[in-house]
Amino acid sequence: MLETLVLHPALDSSWINFDVNALVQNFWSATFDGLTFGAVYGLIAVGYTLVYGVLNLINFAHSEVFIVGAYGVVVTLTTLGFGPSAPTLGPAALIGDLLLALIVGMLASAVTAWILERVAYRPLRKRNAPRLVFLITAIGASFTIQYLIFLIPGVGANAMPAVTMFIPQPIFDVFGTIVTSQQLIIVIASVLLMVATDWFIRRTRTGRGIRAVAQDPDTATLMGVNKEKIIQITFITGGILAGAAALFYVMLVPSGVIYNGGFILGVKAFAAAVLGGIGNVRGALLGGLLLGVIGNYGQILLGDSQWTDVVAFVVLVLVLLIKPSGILGTSLGRSRA
């Protein structure tokens, strides 16, 4: 005798709002918003990609390198008089203030990345520590930086005050969806930074050193490449791009800077690096843009913004299962100029 199957309330699918019509109606806005956030993911993902390409290390503390840069950006802008409301500044003054905040954010992240390499990873390399020790150290360094920020007087568990840089202006219309100045600035600036980084890796002498160490560190050392210097430059380069991403993130989420706020963003950036092909600089940008768009589609399709984070984890798992090398999948050491 067949029995009727009764679903437990916790397994009831009514909490999932699979709405294709909503996705169709909001397709272009979701696409442009996704590309904007994806550009931020891509810049952070480069830090994961560069360090993995050179050291075969997943630097889980890179998310904290990013958040330190975000604090630098917020503190700089707050000191310059920015607040929850956009300031009334002329174009030249506004650009000057944003460039200063960008430089401070880059410096803060770059210095953090440099200290991280010197204090956490270099002693392990000198002792030829197993890779598992590097991984555990990276996780420990991540929590250490988080709680060092938490212990700063006046910071604690509270998010930094909101900082609004400017009011986004409509630039053009695509099928009824307005593309704003903020979106264009973030996407174009991120692409330019990625192009500059790709040129640096492929065309400069230091870039050739990075690729040589990534391919064969022992042979590179015999050929006169200073491996330790190259590793430092790799961490600093990733830090600089994380600092730039920090400015764009604050631009998108004015009140989103908190001591542990880099964790989820770091996971998304890592997923983007894996999706594009970890170890591939161009793949980091591609993966970031795709992940941003896919995440936005997912949250609209499933009816809740929290699904964005779930989608990032699902994409990460699927890529690891189906194509672990990622979309582009060329290692940093074997990339060609």
Share of the chain above pLDDT 70, in %: 93
pLDDT digits (tens, 9 = 90+) for 260-310: 888 889 989 998 998 998 888 888 999 999 999 998 888 888 877 777 778
Q: Is the pTM of this model over 0.85?
A: yes
CB-neighbour burial class of residue 34 (10 A; exposed 0-12, middle 13-18, buried 19+) = buried
The CA angle 220-286-208, to the nearest 5 degrees, is 15
Rounded Cα gap, residues 143 and 138, in angstroms:
9
C-beta separation of 109 from 242 below 8 A = yes
Rounded Cα gap, residues 257 and 78, in angstroms:
13
pLDDT digits (tens, 9 = 90+) for 6-36: 444 444 455 566 777 878 888 889 899 999 9
* Full DSSP string of 297-323: HHHHHHT-TTHHHHHHHHHHHHHHHH-
pLDDT for residue 215 is more than 90:
no
Q: Is 151 helix (H, G, I), strand (E, B) or coil?
A: coil
Q: What integer pLDDT is reported at residue 331 of this predicted model?
A: 60
Rounded Cα gap, residues 73 and 245, in angstroms:
10
| Average pLDDT of span 40-49 | 94
| Average pLDDT of span 171-186 | 90
pLDDT digits (tens, 9 = 90+) for 105-155: 999 999 999 999 999 999 999 998 998 999 999 999 999 999 999 998 888
